[in-house]
Amino acid sequence: IYSLLSFLGVQPLNDKSIFTRAITQPIKNGDEIGLTRLRTTMGFLSLRRSKQNVNISLVEKDVQLCSVEWDPNDSHKLVYDALFGTVKCAMEAILHDDESKALKNYSVIFEKLLRLRQACCSATMIAEDRRAIALKVWNEMKSKTATKKLTAEEGLALLEKLKSAFATDEADNLPECGICLMEMDVNDGTILKSCNHVFCKLCIVQVLAKSNKRCPYCRATFEESDIIDASQAKKAAAETSVAVKEDSSSTEFGTPAKVQALLDAFESMQGDEKGVIFSQFTSHLDIIGVALWKAGHSFVRIDGSVSAAKRMSNITSFNSDGGPRFILCSLLAAGTGINLTRANWCYMMDCWWNEAVESQAMDRIHRLSQTRKVTVLRFVMKDSIEESIIQMQERKSIQAKAVTQKLTGEEKRKALLGNLRGLLQIKEE
């Protein structure tokens, strides 16, 4: 916020020392006067208009949460259980011994949570050798924890061991930034040749601005010449239609529960109705594309690898009568700035941490010029981390609206660790 006030020249808060003394430090100390000053300032400078505040008439939007159950013997569930169990064991041990160690490893744990979210979509999104490692580690940990609890050191060692198990196969999947943990398309990614860690361009530029250039992930030093574009390491798919390739593991795992639930949901569509399918993972879109092709459904696709011309061509084709019935969209590449009102069905295939990102995606369909009732189906795996993410979304929404809420430093610390406990279903002692 200070950078905005500085850019706007809001005196005297554009002075860093004054901003720190009047706002930053009081907030850190739990003094409500700091937050009060900030709210008062932002009240004069900002203008927020929701759809409810603007005199516009939109059609009805029905958002439904679809809880999808795993079959007890589902191979996808076995992989998820192994991943979840190992991370939970490690976290319980660390939190029991020293909470500060959990905070120091927060980004590492957060990356493991990303793998759990991928497993909720399909176990095949995690490379075969990585799945085997995770299952082996989990079997070892079950026998160990049956006799005694892990120590904090054992928990940290387990996290280290899981790094290789949870890493994605970079040859088959788009990478995610090691700093902000957001999945990148080939136009936004950079790779450090010295250590092979991947970051988005925005984050790596901030690192370059520092005099001591170290990889944020492994702390190894690097030079600017070590940075190469991810597009040089991986060719983007030239065509937007999915190249249908049978995955060697698809026979072993079968159709993921979410994808089957999606196909079943199509039965509710009427006549010439169309649907938009969102996922934050391009590898998940690949799997969905194969399922649509097998079922005989026509579709086009938009993700970060699609050129601007092809992107517009696909949107025009989808919006035309007689065009493809479905469009597969990357949540981050197609969640804003486009009009897909030809569709009145929206399928959200996975959860994002911030509900506002999902709402923006839904608004590609639910907007002016939409004449039909819009139905949004949000698919969530039952008894999984996704249910915890939905609960976290609800808490964040309430906090965003409760502008008078005052949090002390201790409360913020508890909230941070509470998020980890909630996601991994760990009870606070």
What CATH number should be reported for the domain holding residue 353?
Answer: 3.40.50.300
Whether 106 is in a domain gets the answer no
Q: How far is the C-alpha of 86 from the C-alpha of 144, rounded, in Å?
A: 12
Q: How far is the C-alpha of 6 from the C-alpha of 211, rounded, in Å?
A: 24
Strand pairing category for 189-192 and 227-229: antiparallel
ω into 12 cis (within 30 of 0): yes
Q: How far is CA 14 from CA 121, 209, 262, in A?
A: 46, 22, 51
Whether 223 is in a domain gets the answer no
Number of domain units in the chain: 2
Q: How far is CA 341 from CA 144, 302, 303, 361, 363, in A?
A: 55, 16, 19, 12, 9
Burial annotation 32-50 (CB, 10 A radius, 16+ → b, else e): eebbebbeebeeeeeeeee
Biggest CA–CA distance in the chain, Å, is 65
The pLDDT, as a whole number, for residue 185 is: 59
The pLDDT, as a whole number, for residue 188 is: 64
Place of tokens 């909630």: 422
Q: How far is the C-alpha of 224 from the C-alpha of 215, rounded, in Å?
A: 11
According to DSSP, residue 31 is labeled -
* Domain of residue 328, residue span: 62-66+238-385
Q: How far is the C-alpha of 167 from the C-alpha of 176, rounded, in Å?
A: 10
Whether 333 is in a domain gets the answer yes
Whether 246 is in a domain gets the answer yes
Q: What is the dihedral of CA 308, 183, 260, 88, to 10 degrees?
A: -170
Q: Is the pTM of this model over 0.75?
A: no
Closest residue by Cα to residue 353 from 317, 326, 388, 400: 388
Distance of CA 121 to the CA centre of its chain: 12
Distance of CA 320 to the CA centre of its chain: 31
**CB-facing half-sphere around the CA of 86: CA atoms within 13 A:** 29
**CB-facing half-sphere around the CA of 370: CA atoms within 13 A:** 26
Q: How far is the C-alpha of 103 from the C-alpha of 181, rounded, in Å?
A: 17
Whether 305 is in a domain gets the answer yes
Whether 414 is in a domain gets the answer no
Q: How far is the C-alpha of 113 from the C-alpha of 87, rounded, in Å?
A: 8
Burial annotation 308-325 (CB, 10 A radius, 16+ → b, else e): eebbeebbeebbeeebbb
End position of a domain, from candidates 349, 370, 385: 385
Q: How far is the C-alpha of 267 from the C-alpha of 290, rounded, in Å?
A: 18
Whether 143 is in a domain gets the answer no
Strand, helix or coil for residue 145:
helix
Radius of gyration of the chain, Cα coordinates, nearest whole angstrom: 23
Strand, helix or coil for residue 379:
strand
**Per-residue confidence in pLDDT tens, the chain, 429 aa:** 888 889 999 889 999 999 999 988 887 786 778 778 887 887 788 776 666 665 567 889 999 999 999 988 888 998 898 888 887 877 777 776 666 666 666 677 777 788 889 999 998 888 777 788 878 877 776 665 554 555 556 555 555 655 555 554 433 445 567 677 666 655 567 777 667 677 777 787 778 777 777 887 777 787 777 777 655 554 433 333 344 444 444 556 788 999 999 999 999 999 899 999 999 999 999 999 999 999 999 999 999 888 889 999 999 999 998 899 999 999 988 877 799 999 999 999 999 888 888 999 999 999 888 999 999 999 999 999 999 888 888 777 655 554 434 555 555 555 556 556 666 656 555
- Phi and psi at residue 170, to the nearest 5°: -70, -15
Whether 268 is in a domain gets the answer yes
